[in-house]
Every structure is written in structure tokens, then in C-alpha cells.
Amino acid sequence: MSDHQHDHDHDHHFPTPESYGLLDRLVNTLVRKGIVSMTELEQTRVETEKGNPQHGAKMVVKAWLDPDYKNLLLRDGVAAAEAIGHSMVGAPPLGVLENTPEIHHMIVCTLCSCYPRKLLGYPPDWYKSSAYRARAVRNPRSLLDEWGIKLQPQTEIRVVDSTADYRWMVLPMRPSGTENLSEEELVKLVTRDCLVGAGLPDSKVD
Amino acid sequence: MNLQVPVTAPLFKPGDMVRIPLVWPEQKGPCHIRTPAYIRGHSAQIICHFGAFPNPEELAFGKPAQLIHLYHVAVSLSDLWDDDAKQDASLLIEIYEHWLEKLSP
Amino acid sequence: MSKKYKNPIAAGHHDLGGSQDFDNAKVNLDDESIDFEDFGARVDALRLVLGAKKIMSVDELRRGVEAIPREEYFQTQYYERWLRSMIYILLEKGLIEAKDIA
């Protein structure tokens, strides 16, 4: 048993006070030297914050409703995102993995925190946590149990470690009993966590 | 991205059994490796070939990066962790060709 | 536990897959810390601009994060690690000097 366990089995959620000043000094230095500009930083941030789990949810629902779009989504995630009007310029390839009654996918990046940011926005804290990165490839079922997610007995869990150039998203199964829901209502069922395998879409809109 | 050598044909195809060698470049000096320790020394099956991408081990040091073939490989978690209780779970992981050796059929 | 479980001496401390140090740590899906003063958003924007200008790649950023010593790695917040990495890489490239950010 590591003697580090007491020190770091939980992550630090907040930067130290010193880091705020350090960031300011770094930015000011780089601006002063003409290496970056404040405008570039602000515009980049605006662009980044166009990423949102809603885009992923819309793509999932479109795939539920349109078999041709589903084929595109599974073949070329970037093209599928662009097809719904979301720019993926500069983004790495996007792989989409389909959940079936036999397979439930769970996405992780054990080495850092690779996540489809261009599409979905900032990754959640839990996804970046040391605990998730350590446990997901070791015992994924213990995580699903902890989260109260019940899979069918025949469902295998497939953990996907994002170690290289692809970013990964899950195409969850459409829940039963949703035949009468509109496309908009269906989109509300697909949460951010569903898109990385940490949730299953509900069958009812709240 | 600078290409030192044109990429050759992929060595592996879907279905091939491969092994990730149990080697530790980290012990030889500073490096940046995208092959996690937990997969080294294990066998896996090639699921698909993604194409060739610049070697992150070189990009991390600002060096010209060779294109390396990238694969999805699969291994069952029971094989990976050698537990008594078998897990009904598997792993898919992206591994670069220079971290794969063909297993004899 | 696998007989071929990672060599604790050889693996980098960032290489967390399968680490047993976190067996008792829950993963709370509701964890959502507030990004005070937009610290994380600003760090992220900076690394993207440096990347777009080919000044620092994501691979260099990762290498810089991995170079953070073990104790410090586990005592820093996620974007704080990125900030430390960017400074490390920019110093290495001679684009900034230590006195610039002191």
C-alpha cells in the first residue's frame, strides 16, 4: 500500500492564491512580448465555449431517428458534427461508439483527461479526477454500481482509454417508451454524462 | 508536423494478436509515452487501424515527428488484472505500431 | 492483481490507470467546482492560442505536466498543472525568463 494514499486520494479543486497572480504575470509577459494578444485569448475563449453537451445530445437523437445519419456518426464523428452546423475546425478526429444490449462503453483518459472538448465543452471534474482515471480501467462495474447505473445482465462493459489522437463519445441506446417524444424532448434525455458512458438516458423528460 | 520518412504500409490488420512489450523507456531519460504502464507486457487483439499520426513521443520535445500507424486494440479486463473473479468487461485502447509486436498465430 | 501490474518505479506518477491508491476514493458525478476568476478558462484559452500559433503543442503541454514532481502533481489543481507546464515549456524554449513572472 502506497504511503501517498492519505495525501492524494482526493484531488485539489482550487488553485492556490499564488497561482492567480502567476497566471496574470504570465499573460502580461506574453502580451508585452507580442507572443499573444488579449484579443486572441478572448476570441479563443468565446470559440471554446461554443462547445456544449447539447451538440452531442442532438447528434445522438438524430442518429436514433435517421439511420443514414447514424452511419455517418459512427463512421466520421467530425463530419457528423459539422452536418448539424457545429464547426470542428482544428479538432482531433471524433470516434463515436454505439452502445447495444451487449455492450456499454465508458470513456476515460488514464494519462491525462482527453475529452471531445470542441464538441462538448469543458470536461467535468469527475472525468479529470485521479480516482476515475485510476479505477475506470481496473473495475468499471464498481463505478457503475456506485453511480446507481443498472445494466442488463448480458451487457459487457467496454472501457475506452483515450491514449492517442482520437476523442471519444458514446452513442447511448434510445430508452424504451420514448416513441411519442419529440426530437426536442429526446435531446433533453441525453445528458453530458451519458455521452461518456457515466449515465443512461432517462425514458421520461422531467 | 514534419515528416522524416514516408509512412510504410500498416504491419497489422484487424484480428491479429499482438503484444505490448514490457519495456520502460522512462528509466533511460526524459520521455513522453502514450502507452500506459498497465498495458505493457500484455497481449491484445487488433480491432481496427486508424491511419498514421505524428509520433507524440517526438512532438513532446518539439522534434520532427515521424508518422506512426495507430490501432485500436482490445483486451479483456480479466486478462489484464489476473483476478480470481472474472470481470465481464474489456478495454479498448489506442496504441502506436512501434509499441506492438506480432504474436505467432 | 496482475503479476504484470505496472512497475511502480518505472511508471510516471501521471500514469494512473489501475493505480490502487484510489480504490477507496469515490467518483462523484456531481462534483463541479466553481472556476473562480475564470482561472481554468483563461489557462485553457492560453494553451489553445499557444497551440494555434505552433508555439507549444498539446504533447509538450502533457510532457510539462508529467514533469511536475509527484508531491506537487497531487497537490495542484488540474489547470494549475497546465499553468506550471506552460511556464516550464516556455522557459525551456527561452520565450520567457524566470524574472518575467517572478
Q: Which of A171-175, C57-61, C62-66, C69-73 has the lowest mean pLDDT?
A: C69-73
Pairs of residues, one from chain A and one from chain B, whose beta carbons lie less than 8 Å apart: 65
Catalytic-role residue among A19, A37, A87, A112: A112
Q: In a mutagenesis test of the C interface, which of B1, B23, B26, B83 is the best target, namely the one with the most C β-carbons within 10 Å?
A: B26
Residue numbers in C near A48 (CB within 8 A)? 41, 44-45, 48
Q: In a mutagenesis test of the A interface, which of C1, C23, C28, C29 is the best target, namely the one with the most A β-carbons within 10 Å?
A: C29
List domains and CATH numbers for chain B. Answer: 17-102 (2.30.30.50)
Radius of gyration of chain A (CA): 19
Residue type for B33, please?
Answer: I
Q: Where are the domains of chain A?
A: 15-47, 52-196
Q: What percent of chain A has pLDDT over 70?
A: 95
Tell me how far apart the terminal alpha carbons of chain C are, to the nearest angstrom: 46
Tell me how far apart the terminal alpha carbons of chain A are, to the nearest angstrom: 45
pLDDT by residue (tens digit) across A36-72?
A: 999 999 999 999 999 999 999 999 999 999 999 999 9
Instruction: Count CB-CB contacts under 10 A for residue B19.
Output: 15
User: Is there a catalytic annotation at residue A109?
Assistant: yes
In whole angstroms, give the CA distance from residue A51 to residue A59: 13
In whole angstroms, give the CA distance from residue C40 to residue A125: 12
Chains interfacing with B (3 or more CB pairs < 8 Å):
A, C
ipTM of the complex: 0.95
Q: In a mutagenesis test of the A interface, which of B59, B81, B88 is the best target, namely the one with the most A β-carbons within 10 Å?
A: B88
Pairs of residues, one from chain A and one from chain C, whose beta carbons lie less than 8 Å apart: 176
The answer to whether residues A86 and A169 touch, using CB atoms and an 8 Å cutoff, is no
Per-residue pLDDT tens listing for chain B (105 residues): 455 566 799 999 999 999 999 999 998 999 999 999 999 999 999 999 999 999 999 999 999 999 999 999 999 999 999 777 788 999 999 999 999 999 976
CB contact under 8 A, B42 and C11: no
User: Is there a catalytic annotation at residue A162?
Assistant: no
H helix intervals, chain A: 5-8, 17-32, 38-48, 53-65, 67-75, 77-83, 117-120, 125-128, 130-135, 140-146, 183-189
Minimum-distance CB partner of A27 among C23, C37, C46: C46
CA B96 to chain centre: 4
Angle at A156 between CA A152 and CA A157, to 5 degrees: 105
| Cβ neighbours of residue A9 closer than 8 Å, sequence gap 6 or more | A130, A131, C21, C22, C24, C25
pLDDT by residue (tens digit) across C21-56?
A: 898 899 999 988 899 999 999 999 999 999 999 999
| Cβ neighbours of residue B46 closer than 8 Å, sequence gap 6 or more | B12, B13, B14, B15, B16, B17, B18, B71, B72, B73
Give the 3-state secondary structure of residue A165.
Answer: coil
Residue numbers in B near C4 (CB within 8 A)? 22, 40-42, 82
CATH code for residues A52-196: 3.90.330.10
**A 130-159 near C (Cβ less than 8 A):** 130-138, 143, 146-147
Q: Where are the domains of chain C?
A: 56-102
Pairing of strands A94-98, A167-171: parallel
Length of chain A: 206
User: Is there a catalytic annotation at residue A194?
Assistant: no
In whole angstroms, give the CA distance from residue B80 to residue B97: 20
In whole angstroms, give the CA distance from residue C54 to residue A158: 35
- Is A142 an 8 Å CB contact of chain B? no
Task: Assess whether pLDDT exceeds 90 at residue A205.
Answer: no
The answer to whether residues A123 and A113 touch, using CB atoms and an 8 Å cutoff, is yes
